[in-house]
Every structure is written in C-alpha cells, then in structure tokens.
Homo-oligomer: A and B are copies of this chain.
C-alpha cells in the first residue's frame, strides 16, 4: 500500500530530476497523482515513465516559457512551449478563470502542449471560484470515425465541473469513445475479451480483442456503430479536436502527436504539439450564486432519488464514483499493480531516488 503523499512526493522528485522548477514540479505531481486518487489509474503514476521518455526524446521541455500569444478580454491562445501538459493546463485554466472574473466567462485554447493528465482536475479548479469549469484535450489518434478504417481522432475527453450548495459538485469527465483506452488495458491484463462495440480491427471489422488497438485496430466513438449513434460520438471527438487544436494552432486529427515516445511525430504536422481547451463561466454572470446552488442541490437530489430499475444500483450523479474512490484512497492508501511498481522502481534507479 502507498499513501497519496508518498506517491506525490516521488513524482515531484522525478520532475525535479527532469529539471522542472520547484513550483511546476509540485503542480505536475499533484495533477498526475489526482488521477490515481480519483480511480483513473491509467492517467496517474502509471504514466510517469511515459513523460520521462518523452522528455528524453526531447519532446517535453522541462523549463517552458508558457505565454499568451493572442487575447481579447474573454479569450486567449496560450503557447505551452512543449512543456508538460500537467503544468501548462492549470496555468491556462487559471487564465480562463481570470478572464471570467473580468467579463463573465473566459476561454483559453492551448497549443504546443503535451498530455495533461485527467481532464476533470482542470475543470474542477473553477469550483473554488463559484464558476463552472470546462476542460478538453485532443490526444494520440486511436479512434476511427463512423465508416473509417483509419484512426483519425484521440479519445478526446470532455470534463465539466458545476458547483452545488450542500451537495458535492457535479463533475462529468469522460472520453468521447464507447470505452477509454484504460478499460482495454485492464482487460489485457486479465486476458479477457472486450464487449462488442468497443473496438474494430485494422480493416474496420467488429472485434472483441482487447489487444486490437495495439494491432493497428481502432477504438470506436461513443455510440459504437451508426445504428447506435457513433456519428454523435464522432461529432463530439471532432469538436474537442477543433476547439483544442485548430483554434489554437496545435496539431490536429491524425497528426496529433502520440503520447508514446517510440512512435514518431508526423513530419508534416499542421500545427504545434497537442492542444487543449478550457472554459470558466462565473455563476453570478447568469444569476445569484445562492439561487443557482439551491437549484443544483434540488437537481442532484431529484436525480439521486430517481426510481432505479429492479436489481440495479441507484442513479448516480456525475462525479459520485470518483469521489467515493478518492475518499477510500485518501483514508486507506493505494495498491499499485506490479508492472507499475516495477516502472517506478526503474525510475528511482535511473534518477538515484528511493522508491519503496
């Protein structure tokens, strides 16, 4: 078992060894381990060695000069200077929040960044300011649009965090595919098949093989097939790609730079690095906070008390499952999978750190 602060501190040490400034190493560690805390294990410490490899491949800049390259009172484009997305994203979100403070809402599109951890973390930064937070990012192309053999989009997640009053906040955070890549990894480890509608072969045929994406196949957009609305999932993934990357000048669609360092970046990239998109909307730019929060509490309670189907669980509010896991893991600590432990030990050895 590991504690939250033990893992966070180890990540901090690794980011320091990479040459990150102290405050940025702190931020990066906090964002990364928040994924483990919320149960999104695929986006937490399991990815630390991936960031290190990208840094070794000169694709991550540990001391980026993150700057605004274009702005209006309510918008900005930020150049992440190839920094860690874990560092670039919270800065861009803070800027969106500042702009919302001035004119009601703030919207920041980011280019030249890298993987930013879990989308939910960044959207939730708005909650403390009584704002709605929105966060999205494009990602390594692994998803085939409806009728396509080719992988054209990432799992392009969307997160929306909405403050409530006495109830905990509403926090939606989801990939725009039927199943996130992390779900495949779990099945791979168990040597189990996927349900239908999650993946297709490299020729576009239906498949249940959890290794299909590794074999050149693709994840499917939310909806799985045309008859069940995969064109809608494709729309969502495309909107995330355009807001994050076309609007900012990052690389988009099939040209989005892959997270894994052993895959080359395209030599005809139409933009710079990965893109993100952040929004903050001040509640009191629309109505009184008190009234809004009272209605959110009412909304949440009504949905939580919806009559469940016999034999099913109660209806959940977006954010419930992650909050339950967070409470449990904060109290009792984490288990890590053997390959993840091995990975962290390898990093400890590489950098002359202790991991135990």
**CB of A239 closer than 8 Å to a CB of B:** yes
Given contacts A107-B281, A303-B253, A308-B147, contact A295 B315 (CB under 8 A): no
What per-residue 1/0 map shows which CB atoms of A262-281 lie under 8 Å from chain B? Answer: 00000000110000000001
What per-residue 1/0 map shows which CB atoms of A300-316 lie under 8 Å from chain B? Answer: 00110011111011111
Given contacts A246-B296, A285-B72, contact A233 B222 (CB under 8 A): yes
A190 to chain B, nearest CB (A): 16
**How many copies of this chain does one complex carry?**
2
Flag the segment in A9-17, A85-93, A171-179, A326-334 that touches B.
Answer: A171-179
User: A73–B103 contact, CB under 8 A?
Assistant: yes
Tell which of B144, B242, B291, B292 touches A296, judged by Cβ atoms closer than 8 Å: B242
**B contact residues around A203 at 8 Å (CB):** 309-310
A333 to chain B, nearest CB (A): 27
**CB of A166 closer than 8 Å to a CB of B:** no
What per-residue 1/0 map shows which CB atoms of A231-263 lie under 8 Å from chain B? Answer: 111111011011000111100111000000000
**B contact residues around A233 at 8 Å (CB):** 222
Q: List 6 A-B contacts (CB under 8 A).
A: A148-B306, A152-B303, A152-B306, A204-B310, A246-B299, A271-B295
Kindly list the 10 A-B residue pairs having the minimum CB-CB distance in the complex, ordered from nearest.
Answer: A204-B309, A72-B104, A75-B104, A74-B104, A172-B235, A75-B285, A74-B103, A147-B312, A73-B103, A148-B306
